[in-house]
Structure formats: structure tokens, C-alpha cells
Chain A
Amino acid sequence: MKRYSVFAIAREALRYHTGWERAWRSPQPKKEYDAIIVGAGGHGLATAYYLGKNHGITNVAIIEKGWLGGGNTGRNTTIIRSNYLQDSSAAIYEKARSLYETMSQDLNYNVMFSPRGVMMLAQTHHEVRGYLRTAHANKLQGVETEFITPQRVKELCPILNIDGPRYPVLGALWQPRGGTGRHDAVAWGYARACSAMGMDIIQQCEVKGVRSENGVVKGVETTKGYIGCKKLGIVVAGHSGQVADMAGFRLPVEAVALQALVSEPIKPCMDVVVMANTVHGYMSQSDKGEMVIGGGTDGFNNYTQRGSFHHIEETLRALIETFPMISRLKMLRQWGGIVDMTGDRSPIISKTPLGNCFINCGWGTGGFKAIPGSGWAMADLMAKGEPGPLAAEFDMWRFKEGRFIDESVAAGVAH
């Protein structure tokens, strides 16, 4: 793999850009691998990357039914933050956020991580109390956040209307090192690095069945034939229930649609990310100038990657009091992704009833920010067969045992 650098750009500029190589290979599957990861989204690719980088396991295939990064990883609104309430959540999201800080250098790929600051508005007294509590928890967890006044909110984001008659801004939970990143680049950067380590990324190949004997996985049936493996990692987000079903177990997960939309591009007007959870909406401005807007999930089981139009209307209606300027904006594009929601709105990184099969899912509406931390923890679990400290509490049996990691109070909304 040739390194990307300023010298490479200069060199290629002098020879009509004929020397750029493909970022990753497109190989045919081998008969067997030490590990197979199903799903080439951010979490699957990051898992493979850290299997190679941290554990020296490189005889790995990542199998993807569509194109890599074409699932939720390429459909999200890219908010990165780690201001969670529960200790186990804060630990893994902060690990991920800190890995984002150096990801471009680590992968030699510009993922455009932009720590522009994330604020979560408090628009009811209940939220003020909630965020004060989270700010205190974050202090103890070593996550840098602060509860700020409405005046400071207005300074940081002048287009906000803080005196709304219905939902005045009473303060905000501010994480100055939160922000956004380029979602495709995260998938592409990991893919390029995995391919360079000799891993096979097999696209347009759907896993149709899981072959196991005596509680041990032998391999997977795919649209490109049977592929054997010593270890299997299932990292398929919205389709986790289906693939778990092939492996013979049921997950406490439901698939629903989550939508987002962007406006026409306008001049820079907002350089922070704002989330307004009471009204179920959030917004940031992309480098192209579009206002990137998201809301809550649609309310019924859905695998179609498209949501209901009226949810978009609801999101915009809710945001207009807080951002009056968007009332005149034209919205350009809208899309949906299928998110995997668990009962406590926290993810699952877990062993399964099959000895050598592991699952990573349940990131729901908020897993882009977690990609590097989740991949790190999942690689650890797959390499050692036992979870490390980051993953320990996220096992799938917590629902049976009543050990919930209840973030739904603090983060029940999309983000």
C-alpha cells in the first residue's frame, strides 16, 4: 500500500494522477479463514482492523452483502460524543472518541474528524436536572463536559432562539471535544488498512446460513458458496436478528427505520453540533454547507431503509422554534437506515450460545461515534474468547439477569 501524503499529491499532480492505486483489493473468497466478520460497516471493519493491529490475526475475511459502508455507516449524521450517564457506556464511547482524535494519522486516511463541540440543549427543568447529573457523572468518569448557561449557548450558536415560548433554552450539556467525522471515510480508511494487512473484503456476498456442529461454528453459507472459519463475528446492525436466527439463537433486538435529511447548501452559520432531545431533533452544518438534520425513529418494525414522510415533518416542525432560520430552507434529500434497538438502548458485544461465535449489535441510533471503541472491544473478545473491561457489561444475557445499562433516559433520541 502506497502512503497518502502531500508528496504523493505533488507526485501525482505531475503525472496526470495515473499512479493512484486501488484503495483495497476485491478478492475471491478462500476456502477457510481464521476469522470471518459478517458485515462491512464501520463496526465490522474496525473489528477486523484491530484483530490485525492489536492481536496479529490477519487471516480474516469481511463479508458484505452490499457494498462496504453502505449500511448505517454511510447513512448517519456523524455525531461523535461520549457524554453518557452510565460508567460502562462512558468508558467505551470515550475510548472511541479518543481514537477518533488520531484516526486519520493511524489509518493514513483523512476521516475529517472535526471536534467542533456538541451541545445537548436542556429545554425543560427535568432535562436541566438530568444533564447536571450527567455532567457530574462525566467528571467522575474523566469525560470532559460542562453544564453551560443559556447565554453561553447563544454565544456558541448565535442562530439558536433561546427564548422560545414553548421550549426556552435553559442551559446545555456541552462537550467541547465532541463533533463530527466523515462517515464514508471511516469505512474506507479501515477497509484500506485491512486490505493492506492481507485481509479479504468480499462485497456483494450475502451470508445465507451459519453451519455449526455440536455448538461450534464451522463456516457460513453465502451467495458465493460455503466459506469455513475458526471464529465468526456477526456485526450486521439492522439485520442482526436474521443472522442470529441463522445461527440458531434469538436476540433482544428490534429493527426500525431512522431517517435523516439535508437542506440546500448555505453559507456557514453554525460551527457546533446542537441536539434538542425534548423536541426530538438535532442539527449540524456539513462542510458543503448543508444543514444535516435528524430526529427520532419511526415507531414500527421495518426493514425497508425508508421511513415515513410525516416523521420528517415532525422533526422540522419541532426544530423551527429553536432554529427559526430553517423555516425558509429547502430540504434537498432524505434517507433512512435500519437500526437495531435493544431494550435498554445500549449495545451488545457478547459471546453467544455457540462457542466460537460472537456478536456486536444494538448500536441503534448512535453507533457511528462508537466505531473505533467497539471494534477495539470486539477484536479483544474474538481474539481471547473472553470480553475485556470495555465489553464486559455489554453481554446479551444482561436482559435475562436484569443488569440493564439504561441510557434510554439520557439518550433515548437519535444521535
Chain B
Amino acid sequence: MLLIECPYCGVKAEETELSPGYEAHLKRFGPGSTDEEFEAYMFARKNPKGVHFERWRHAYGCGKWFLAARCTATLEVFGTYPAQVGEPPADIIEKIKARRPDWKGYK
């Protein structure tokens, strides 16, 4: 079972307490965008086998959305951070690099 710490209330929540929300940091496109932009936003997920930045909601806790960095190949969680940031924070990136020296980086 996944254990993920909610960055708001500090609870190390079990998976049953959380709802997953798939890829984080999506750039949203609206009316007037091209078909390619719209497809990329709606459907073309990164879907990596390895480091993944994703959204979770502490559904049966504080109810808030937050973001997590997790490895999809091992289920290791590198860290979590509040949802109000546009890019993964530097300390999380450092943690991942320490654990995954061959990681190609965010983007």
C-alpha cells in the first residue's frame, strides 16, 4: 500500500485515504488554441516508467489537492508539495537526483 504524506496536514496517509489525480503541472489550453495544443493538454500524457509528478487529493483527510513525485516503476515516493506551484520545487528535484542519478530531469 502506498503511504504518501499530505503536505498540508503532515499526515502520512494510506492510499485508501487519498484519491489519485494523474499528471501534475499540465498547462491548460482553452478556446483559440490549436488542435495540437488541445490534444497535448487533454490526452498526450508523459506516462513515464520512472519519475512521475502527479496530483493527489487528501480525500478523507483535509480534502485538499497536493502534488507528489513518485516512481511508477518501484512505487517509491520522493516527496510531496502544495498544489499552488507551477514546477517541482528544487529540494524535491535534489532528492530525486540523489535517488536516481540517471534521471533525465523534469520536462
In the assembled complex, which residues on chain B have CB atoms less than 8 Å from the CB atom of A310? 1, 15-16
Q: How far is the CB of A139 from chain B (nearest CB, A)?
A: 32
How long is the Cα–Cα vector from A343 to B73 in the complex, in angstroms?
A: 22
Interface segment among A129-137, A196-204, A247-255, A280-288: the answer is A247-255
11 CB-based A-B contacts, threshold 8 Å: A241-B49, A251-B44, A253-B45, A301-B54, A303-B49, A303-B73, A304-B74, A304-B75, A399-B42, A399-B44, A400-B36
8 closest cross-chain pairs (CB), A and B: A252-B43, A300-B20, A400-B39, A299-B20, A241-B47, A343-B43, A399-B43, A303-B49
Find residues 220-261 in chain A having any chain B CB closer than 8 Å to their own CB: 239, 241-242, 250-255
In the assembled complex, which residues on chain B have CB atoms less than 8 Å from the CB atom of A251? 44, 47
The contact of B49 among A239, A253, A300, A343, by CB within 8 Å, is A239
Q: Output the nearest chain B residue to A240 by Cβ-Cβ distance.
A: B47
Contact of B58 with A by CB under 8 A: no
Contact digits for B36-59, partner A, Cβ 8 Å, 1 yes 0 no: 101100111111110010100000
Q: How far is the CB of A95 from chain B (nearest CB, A)?
A: 26
In the assembled complex, which residues on chain A have CB atoms less than 8 Å from the CB atom of B39? 252, 399-400
| Interface band, chain A | 20 to 34
Given A310-B1, A401-B35, is A300 in contact with B45 using a C-beta cutoff of 8 Å? no
Supplied contacts A253-B47, A299-B19, A300-B2, 8 more A-B pairs, CB within 8 Å: A250-B44, A253-B45, A300-B20, A300-B54, A301-B72, A303-B72, A304-B73, A399-B43
The residues of B with any CB-CB pair to A shorter than 8 Å are: 1-2, 15-16, 19-20, 22-23, 35-36, 38-39, 42-49, 52, 54, 70, 72-75
How long is the Cα–Cα vector from A255 to B46 in the complex, in angstroms?
A: 10
Contact digits for A275-306, partner B, Cβ 8 Å, 1 yes 0 no: 00000000000000000000000011111100
Chain A, interface SS category: mixed
In the assembled complex, which residues on chain B have CB atoms less than 8 Å from the CB atom of A400? 35-36, 38-39
Q: Once the chains bind, are B49 and A242 in contact (CB under 8 Å)?
A: yes
Q: How far is the CB of B49 from chain A (nearest CB, A)?
A: 5
In the assembled complex, which residues on chain A have CB atoms less than 8 Å from the CB atom of B15? 308, 310
Contact of A20 with B by CB under 8 A: no
Q: Once the chains bind, are A309 and B1 in contact (CB under 8 Å)?
A: yes
Q: Once the chains bind, are A254 and B22 in contact (CB under 8 Å)?
A: yes
In the assembled complex, which residues on chain A have CB atoms less than 8 Å from the CB atom of B75? 302, 304
In the assembled complex, which residues on chain A have CB atoms less than 8 Å from the CB atom of B52? 301
Q: Output the nearest chain B residue to A298 by Cβ-Cβ distance.
A: B20
Given A304-B73, A308-B1, A310-B15, is A254 in contact with B47 using a C-beta cutoff of 8 Å? yes
In the assembled complex, which residues on chain B have CB atoms less than 8 Å from the CB atom of A299? 19-20
Most A Cβ at <10 Å: residue of B1, B45, B52? B45
The contact of B47 among A255, A309, A401, by CB within 8 Å, is A255
Q: How far is the CB of A298 from chain B (nearest CB, A)?
A: 8
How long is the Cα–Cα vector from A127 to B39 in the complex, in angstroms?
A: 30
In the assembled complex, which residues on chain B have CB atoms less than 8 Å from the CB atom of A308? 1-2, 15
Q: How far is the CB of A249 from chain B (nearest CB, A)?
A: 10
In the assembled complex, which residues on chain A have CB atoms less than 8 Å from the CB atom of B36? 400
Q: Output the nearest chain A residue to B43 by Cβ-Cβ distance.
A: A252
How long is the Cα–Cα vector from A301 to B16 in the complex, in angstroms?
A: 16
How long is the Cα–Cα vector from A302 to B76 in the complex, in angstroms?
A: 11
In the assembled complex, which residues on chain A have CB atoms less than 8 Å from the CB atom of B45? 252-254
Q: Output the nearest chain B residue to A242 by Cβ-Cβ distance.
A: B49
In the assembled complex, which residues on chain B have CB atoms less than 8 Å from the CB atom of A343? 42-43
Q: How far is the CB of B103 from chain A (nearest CB, A)?
A: 15
How long is the Cα–Cα vector from A353 to B65 in the complex, in angstroms?
A: 37
How long is the Cα–Cα vector from A210 to B22 in the complex, in angstroms?
A: 28
In the assembled complex, which residues on chain B have CB atoms less than 8 Å from the CB atom of A239? 49
Given A252-B39, A401-B35, is A301 in contact with B47 using a C-beta cutoff of 8 Å? yes
In the assembled complex, which residues on chain A have CB atoms less than 8 Å from the CB atom of B72? 255, 301-304
Q: Once the chains bind, are B43 and A301 in contact (CB under 8 Å)?
A: no
How long is the Cα–Cα vector from A399 to B44 in the complex, in angstroms?
A: 9
Q: How far is the CB of A107 from chain B (nearest CB, A)?
A: 33
In the assembled complex, which residues on chain B have CB atoms less than 8 Å from the CB atom of A250? 44, 46
